[in-house]
Amino acid sequence: MLMKNIIISCLWLLSMFSLSAQRSEVGVFIGTTSYIGDLNPTKLFTNPQFSGGIIYRYNLNPRWAIKANILFASVEASDYKNNEKYERDLSFRSPITEISAEVELNFFNIYNANGKNRFTPYIFTGFTVFSFNPQGYLDGKYYDLQHLGTEGQGFEGQPDYYSLTSFAIPFGIGFKVNIGRYISFGIEAGMRYTFTDYLDDVSTTYYDNETLLQERGEIVAQLADRSVEKHQAGTGRGNVTTKDLYTFCGASLSFKFGNEDKTCELKNRKIKHKYKRPGR
């Protein structure tokens, strides 16, 4: 519900900016998303999943821009495909909805006018809020994992259930080119360093499987520990010292509004007015 309200508010703000602000761009992003975490600790850009969304960019000047994104994606991984710890045999998938505010620094000045530089590589960083919902697969069905407490969340003396909304720091590189006056095309690759270790529902240690079986049922017990021989309570299930990451790679196409440069025209008017003869 929180993410829904944030998205509605941002869409309203984007529509207001696109109508009133100068040097504005509104467009779409299409690409792929991947995940780095306990179930895939080292392999970048593996298991890519489709992602897409809308972007708004405001060009402060030919070198600096600010950008807002609303993106929808999914990530997934498994020990069997991505990790050497096959005996753990955990897997997950999770949808992601994110809202980001970013600052872009162009390496070169970029313009819309003919005869001037129309392309540049750039770097970016900013701030992201996102929602996620890890799901585990068992006997032909996916189960939402957060409320199951697979690591003992909710039991007396154990941590509370983790939040399904978190924050991240986005950073990356890109390349964009202005096509004529009103179209911009770009490609981009970036990471989101998150402030959660539960994007995959794996973080700390195994909880006593027999207790999970008795208190929460067979499904929870199986999703918590998929190995043939159940792990002893307190042994490592994940790496609590690192946070999860996810990546975006893709292309954007945006349309510009109010990008005509009036600077020269205004200067010429001032010069003509300054040297205009009296009485004329």
Higher-pLDDT residue of 104 and 88 is 104
Q: How far is 237 from 153, CA to CA, in rounded Å? A: 14
Domain housing 114: 2-201+241-274
User: Would 232 be classed as within a structural domain?
Assistant: no
DSSP per-residue letters across 146-185: GGG-TT-TTSTTSPPPPPSEEEEEEEEEEEEEEETTTEEE
User: Would 218 be classed as within a structural domain?
Assistant: no
Domains contained in the chain, number: 1
User: Would 168 be classed as within a structural domain?
Assistant: yes
User: Would 207 be classed as within a structural domain?
Assistant: no
User: Would 184 be classed as within a structural domain?
Assistant: yes
- Lowest pLDDT segment from 14-18, 125-129, 150-154, 273-277: 14-18
Instruction: Write the pLDDT tens digit of every residue in 46-72.
Output: 999 999 999 999 999 999 999 999 999
**Mean pLDDT of the chain, nearest integer:** 88
Using 50, 70 and 90 to split pLDDT, how confident is the model at 110?
A: very high
User: Would 61 be classed as within a structural domain?
Assistant: yes
| Contact (CB, 8 A) for 233 and 205 | yes
Instruction: Write the pLDDT tens digit of every residue in 237-261.
Output: 999 999 999 999 999 999 998 655 4
CATH of the domain at 262: 2.40.160.20
Alpha-carbon distances of 254 from 22, 146, 190, 219, 239, rounded to whole Å: 15, 37, 19, 47, 40
List all residues 6 or more positions away from 235 whose beta carbon is below 8 Å from its beta carbon.
205, 206
Q: How far is 250 from 30, CA to CA, in rounded Å? A: 6
Using 50, 70 and 90 to split pLDDT, how confident is the model at 5?
A: low
Instruction: Write the pLDDT tens digit of every residue in 13-26.
Output: 444 444 433 589 99
pTM of the full structure? 0.83
Instruction: Write the pLDDT tens digit of every residue in 201-217.
Output: 999 999 999 999 999 99
DSSP per-residue letters across 126-140: EEEEEEE--EEEETT
User: Would 182 be classed as within a structural domain?
Assistant: yes
Reply yes or no on whether the pLDDT at 128 is more than 80. yes
